[in-house]
Amino acid sequence: MWIGSLLVISSLMALVPEQVGAAREATVLAARRLFNLSANGGAMVTVLFGGFAIIEHPEVMRHGWMHAKLALVVVLLFFHALLYRRIAALADNPGGATRGQFSMIHGVVSLLLLAILALVILKPF
């Protein structure tokens, strides 16, 4: 839910620089609502249940792949906050967004997802 929301929102926001007037405002409003409900909610659930899983099985912290995974989750939280700030900035300066900024966020979130999945499935170290 969390990462899917970030990917949808970043794709949606990449369209904003090409829009004008009411269409731009409606897109930004929809992105803010989706971010507040799905992305924030998904992040909270992910972190909460991840914490519960570690508490339930603390021996998992002996593995290097888990430390790498948690580091990637922290990076993902950084891009979560960055996307939030970019959306909030559009309310003040509608012309301040570029397609490239949101495409970059989309690409980085996609790579983080793939890296996290690879670590969990392969458990390389």
Mean pLDDT of 103-108: 97
Work out how many domains the chain is built from and give that number: 1
pLDDT digits (tens, 9 = 90+) for 2-11: 999 999 999 9
The whole-number pLDDT of residue 93 equals 79
Give me the domain span that covers residue 63.
2-122
pLDDT digits (tens, 9 = 90+) for 42-100: 999 999 999 999 999 999 999 999 999 999 999 999 999 999 999 988 877 777 778 99
Nearest-angstrom CA–CA distance, 9 and 31 = 6
The whole-number pLDDT of residue 18 equals 85
Three-state secondary structure of the chain: CHHHHHHHHHHHHCCHHHCCHHHHHHHHHHHHHHHHHHHHHHHHHHHHHHHHHHHHCHHHHHCHHHHHHHHHHHHHHHHHHHHHHHHHHHHHCHHHCCHHHHHHHHHHHHHHHHHHHHHHHHCCC
The whole-number pLDDT of residue 59 equals 97
Mean pLDDT of 18-40: 92
For 9, phi and psi rounded to 5 degrees?
-65, -45
Whether the CB-CB separation of 86 and 16 falls below 8 Å is answered with: no
Token pair in block for residue 111:
């790579």
Higher-pLDDT residue of 18, 36: 36
